[in-house]
């Protein structure tokens, strides 16, 4: 008997909220993320002509803020060390 496939949304619902800095260069910052109920991906910040731009993978500004908040919340502040 074939194994029943679960819908993709079930996978997204099982993912934990997470964010991490994956790559940093002079003009590039890549943040990997996952969000319960949403999925996973990468946000890429690039500096172009003295201006930072963001590839948000078509996610809303509020979604990006949520992920960046997760990153800030899990990162110790200098005063906390």
User: In this structure, what DSSP letter does residue 57 have?
Assistant: T
Residues 35-72: tens digit of each pLDDT: 999 999 999 999 999 999 999 999 999 999 999 999 99
pTM recorded for the entire structure: 0.82
What confidence score (pLDDT) does residue 34 get? 95
Rounded distance between C-alpha atoms, residue 13 and residue 22, angstroms: 23
Distance in Å from the first CA to the final CA of the chain: 55
């Amino acid at each position: 008997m074939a194994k029943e496939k679960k819908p993709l949304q079930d996978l997204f619902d099982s993912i934990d909220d997470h964010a991490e800095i994956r790559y940093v260069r002079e003009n590039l910052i890549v943040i990997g993320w996952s969000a319960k109920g949403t999925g996973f991906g990468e946000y890429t910040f690039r500096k172009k002509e003295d201006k930072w731009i963001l590839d948000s993978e078509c996610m809303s500004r509020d979604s990006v803020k949520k992920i960046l908040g997760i990153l800030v919340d899990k990162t110790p502040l200098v005063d906390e060390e």
